[in-house]
Structure 1
């Protein structure tokens, strides 16, 4: 989860209100009651409607209530081999994430299992119960191909855990910035695919009846499955968007430096399009292979967006900063169009940024254009028909100028004949 820039406060104690067997989870409009059953119900939260999610995006939905499995601590200890260090997948502000194997009893004596990812709260983390609960309430009810699936949670005493589907390829951050032979550089095609998937996830959140502001969009929160399909993870900082009569909400500034929108950092005013700024930062990272914030870079280059904006608008400068791990294997016209889109997302005024729906459409057009094969050039190659025409003209004593004009005429007619029909 993201970092909070204001003074951290002690995380709320939950031992008196959340005993291991039963308890009430309550925070503002969220309310849930957990029992010894295998499922949980979180109700009395009218911000979402099931129909709104389906209407806004057919391949995703927002459920009226979460439908999550409640795990006990013992089975998660067994799944992760007692949270062994060798099983650590990553670590954030909330705590460490462990890879685990969950045994499931099948019919008869047969048993099956599945790989899972278990996020465990660090006892010293300032991102405690509130963020854990926010994750359950948001991600537990939202289903979309580009959002990571929350399978369930564990709440026993001071132990807070979340259980997710396992994402085989890890985070976009690892693929862009980790060096060595363990992580292979991403091709241009895969980078575009990841950008489109992440954009679709944000577009879905923004298109719901009660808009969801993700608030912590960054490369480390974009996870990749075995086919490099992108899924957004970590909803601990997500907020419901403003009402129809409001343009923004005002909240404590939280997130990750380098990705947060300038208007949010300066005023605490959070707009839906504040997410779009973070998306522009990630596009810049995809282009350059450079981190959003890196104090080890030369003076004036620590903050990627401040340094890179002039390079994104000029073709010659863009070539200089493209990720060298691409080894020049990318269509430059496609890269330049992505750079132009990144600039639009990085607009200082939030109202000037494109919507995420527009971003998705732009990226899909860029991908389509990059995959299209250019019309075969015939001007430098003589076809059999050209040769026959040329031989006929030579036999009849045409001048060189006339021969050249005749050849150009035949070639032009062939090009016109082979032009694709208009749609």
Structure 2
């Protein structure tokens, strides 16, 4: 797509398609983070198709895409090795009345890739496996409270977590009250929480790493805290899995959780997630123990053969092609380019790139240095008009150097407009309508 002036850029077919989506689907999308409220008004592309690092909207525009599938499509769209594996299984049937041999093969492959885990069970969604980890921790410990990291944005669609967000409508306080929070990176504060609720906390749930690296010794210290207080340590590796290393953050940092959950990159867009962990805990959800049975995970579609084949192909591709290293190299090139472009346009203190190179996000700050949805809207409009679809700067391995260079050039143009808005003290003339909104908010 050729670059366009923002005020000339329009998406009439996408706009009509969004209206149709809202008429039939609450929120107009199946994931809140994909909602058109996350994009400038009337500039929320509806996707026709994608290939590699590019997507096309129904208006015929092509974009360089970042954050593909909410970080799930890390190899690029329609990846040939993944599609070949999926097609092989599609002709053999996808779901049977008994387990398929593919389930054993996929479990074996996963446990080879994540050797810190001893057993695994597959499902479709990250929420399902993370909630299963919480249920298992409660069963094993006989405790009811769940301690979640307050600095990480999402763990599950289920009540134990969503009740703690501003979108808590419909969730009884009795459930929410059982979830408490601890700050990331602060062992003393976490121990205070465990002491305050001594003998009540079933598990600590956190992403092992976020936009900043774990403080030295933090994860190991958390491991010791969990052991000392008798609670289960759960790593949510939805994002860190594969992007940090093939074995996740636990493999990179060398700290072994009791349970961990994977998804997103595991299937390169196909629906598959995993609960993994210690055998003595996982067996509580099986048939080879003598205690009370735990309804761990039981999903009709959790072991569809084509999705498990996709997961195996993803793992093979990562290992054989060094995908994690490529993601980091691409991210480092992009981050350096964006920072240079922002500084060159005089907005280096306002357009920021943060996070691990394989998982970059950007921040848009106003004249006071505060996060601004208005300036984010301005920035997104300029990116879209330049053919860059980037709710984040999370890379896929399908990106090429030319894509990165194109993105940096578009960012430079966006930063020039950003500077103009800062100079006049008001981004409103460049918004084109209402600002984008945060996903978690109480009112529409």
Relative contact order, higher structure (CA 8 A, sep 6+): 2
Which of the two has greater strand per residue?
1
TM over 0.5: no
TM-score range (shorter-chain normalised) is under 0.3
**TM-score with structure 1 setting the length:** 0.22
Which of the two has greater helix per residue?
2
